[in-house]
Amino acid sequence: MADLLGQVHSAAGDYLASLAARPVQDRDALALLAELGGPLPEKGSEPGEVIERLLRVGAAAGTASSGPRFFHFVTGGVTPAALAADWAAALFDQNAFSKISSPFAHEVETVALRWLRELFGLPESWGGALVGSATFANFTSLGCATHWWGFQLGVDTAEDGLAELPRMPVLSSGYVHASARKALQMLGHGRNSVTVCARDGVGRVDLGVMRHHLNRLKGAPSVIIANAGEVNAGDFDPIGELAELAAEFGAWLHVDGAFGLFAALSPRTAHLVEGIGRADSIAADAHKWLNVPYESGFALVRDQARLGSAFGMPGAAYLPGPGDPASGYALYGPESSRRARSLPIWATLAAYGKQGHREMVERHLDLAQHLAARVDAAPELERLADVPLSIVCFRAAPAGVADLDDFNRRLGAALLEDGRVYAGTTLYDGRIALRPAIVNWRTTEADIDLFVDVVRELSQKVSHEVGTRAS
Ligand SMILES: *Cc1c(COP(=O)(O)O)cnc(C)c1O
């Protein structure tokens, strides 16, 4: 077994060293994926050969999304300490189910959750759950909100579900993320349960409209979702004002802070999440801006006991019940058996501290401003939004192009096909745009400059294609 791990270890050095220069995606290498197919082997092969094949194909055909020039979605890298600790999590193969299945994993998770609360300046008394992603953190948070809401109406939804209840009112701005809707869909409310209160095509919240809807509920309990960091331009709902509304109308305030919660780390951006301490629940990702490996997200919940009420299991005789001192995090979140995903979170916080993570966030803020300046300086590029955080929303707008949406769709496709750098397109205020997001510790100014150079080069190429087609 140690020999197999040695194979991974020796491949790791080369792979990690290659990240600085390799393209994000080598399309030609995708042909190698055929080597992993074929029928399920009857007898199996020599494990050393199997692992050699996996490493060879993965190193060539894998997406270098942990490298410095992957700006698509919101994709973090992996700090050295987090990667090593993730290997350790696989090595120890703990079941972070309960204090009995692994006192070690249980304790590290307790410390990791406490450190996360400290990192974001949240009260020690809050509860939390480490989950696989921000989608699951939204699910966990809105699961708690659902239980709270049912309780207001005299129903224990964990016992009896939603059948006796009206539809749960959910209000948000146009910034509400698809995964919050997916969480509502999984919880049985349906993804259309959200009433969007937006005042413009960007999706900025209309507080007057939200107040109007809350008034119409005549005191019935409801849930407000505030968005800390939306994905198109990194903008924020006014959390403090939404907290005021939630307090006035007795609503549950949930904040989706998948990456935007990290604004709390820097005095330069902390004002963006002002009021977050008044939330009832917060969802965030660790595999984005904390730079730990997938799959890692977390929910932080003001009323710790609510997690147990919403996610406790009806103790099978061989399992610990909720009040049992041997119970654990399986009873405070949606999963039962689970890996020790606390280990990389613990390790990165232990290794780099509050200061290291603040410095990383601030480096990304600077890089985003640098990117915005390069966009502003390029005559054929047009920035579409302010840059409050680390996403820059812009499009190509070369002179004489009639259909800019079509042009930018082509540009986005050309960028992915080229593979040197990666960024995705979106629809921002009715316009197709690029929206590179910078949250990887490896990214340097040179990477940003290369990104702009590649975008400009491909924009020229698309101009020629479009021009040729038109003539
Ligand atoms: C990424 C993101 C999510 C979903 O996160 P996953 O980790 O992909 O599940 C939710 N909300 C926001 C604002 C996000 O940026």
Is the CB of 297 inside a 6 Å radius of any atom of ligand 1? yes
Nearest CA to ligand 1 atom 9: 135
Residue 315 reports pLDDT greater than 80: no
Long-range own/partner contacts, residues 110-114 (CB < 8 A, 24 or more apart): 111/342, 111/346, 112/342, 112/345, 112/346, 112/349, 113/298, 113/300, 113/342
Q: Which of 173, 179, 256, 290 to mutate to test the pocket of ligand 1 (most atoms within 8 A of CB)?
A: 179
CA dist 83 and 100 (Å) reads 26
Which residue lies with its CA nearest to atom 15 of ligand 1?
Answer: 258
Q: Does the pLDDT at position 322 exceed 90?
A: no
CA 298 to centroid of ligand 1, rounded, Å: 11
- Atom 3, ligand 1: which residue's CA is nearest? 134
Ligand 1 pocket: which of 139, 177, 393 to mutate (most atoms within 8 A of CB) = 177
pLDDT of residue 430: 97
Q: How far apart are CA 97 and CA 469, in angstroms?
A: 60
Please give the average per-residue pLDDT across 200-220, as a whole number: 98
Radius of gyration, alpha carbons of the chain = 24
Question: What integer is the mean pLDDT of 333-350?
Answer: 97
CB of 135 shorter than 6 A to ligand 1: yes
**What are phi and psi for residue 153, nearest 5 degrees?**
-100, 10
For 214, the token pair is 């809350």
Residue 344, ligand 1, Cβ within 6 A: no
**pLDDT exceeds cutoff 90 at 213:** yes
Cβ of 259 less than 6 Å from ligand 1? yes
343 lines ligand 1 (CB under 6 A): no
With a cut of 60, say whether residue 390 has pLDDT above it: yes
pLDDT at 300 over 60: yes
pLDDT of residue 468: 66
> Model-level pTM greater than 0.95?
yes
Q: Is the CB of 177 under 6 A from ligand 1?
A: yes
CA–CA gap between residue 35 and residue 53 (Å, rounded): 8
- Are 411 and 454 in contact by the 8 Å Cβ rule? The answer is no
Using CA atoms, how far apart are residues 288 and 290, in angstroms rounded to an integer?
A: 6
Q: What is the pLDDT of residues 437-460, one digit of tens each?
A: 999 999 999 999 999 999 999 999
Whether omega for the bond prior to residue 295 falls within 30 degrees of 0, making it cis, is yes
CATH for 84-349, options being 3.40.640.10, 3.90.550.10, 3.40.50.300, 3.40.50.2300:
3.40.640.10
For the stretch 119-153, pLDDT in tens is: 999 999 999 999 999 999 999 999 999 999 999 99
Distances (CA, A) of 110 to 169, 214, 251: 33, 37, 29
Query: Which of 285, 295, 389, 438 to mutate for ligand 1's pocket (most ligand atoms within 8 Å of CB)?
Result: 285
Distance CA(361)–CA(113), nearest Å, equals 20
Domain boundaries, the chain: 2-67, 84-349, 353-470
Architecture of 353-470 per CATH?
Answer: Alpha-Beta Complex (3.90)
Q: Assess whether the C-beta atom of 258 lies below 6 angstroms from ligand 1.
A: yes
**Mean pLDDT calculated for residue range 416-426:** 97
Q: How far is the CA of 135 from the centre of ligand 1 (A)?
A: 6
285 CA to middle of ligand 1, Å? Answer: 7
- Taking residues 26-52, what's their average pLDDT? 97
Query: What band does 326 get if pLDDT is binned at 50, 70 and 90?
Result: confident
Centre of ligand 1 from the C-alpha of residue 318, in Å: 36
Q: Are 111 and 96 in contact (CB under 8 A)?
A: no
260 C-alpha to center of ligand 1: Å? Answer: 10
Contact between 164 and 390 under an 8 Å Cβ cutoff? The reply is: no
The response to whether residue 133 sits with its C-beta less than 6 Å from ligand 1 reads yes
10 Å Cβ neighbour count for 431? 16
pLDDT of residue 317: 76
Cβ–Cβ under 8 Å, residues 391 and 233: yes
Low-confidence winner among 52-61, 319-328, 447-456 (lowest mean pLDDT): 319-328
Query: What is the mean pLDDT of the segment spanning 409-430?
Result: 97
**Confidence check: pLDDT of 380 > 80:** yes
Max Cα-Cα span within the chain: 76
CA angle 311, 113, 156 (to 5 degrees): 20
Among candidates 253, 252, 254, 276, which has minimal Cα distance to 263? Answer: 276
Report the atom number in ligand 1 closest to the C-alpha of 138.
10
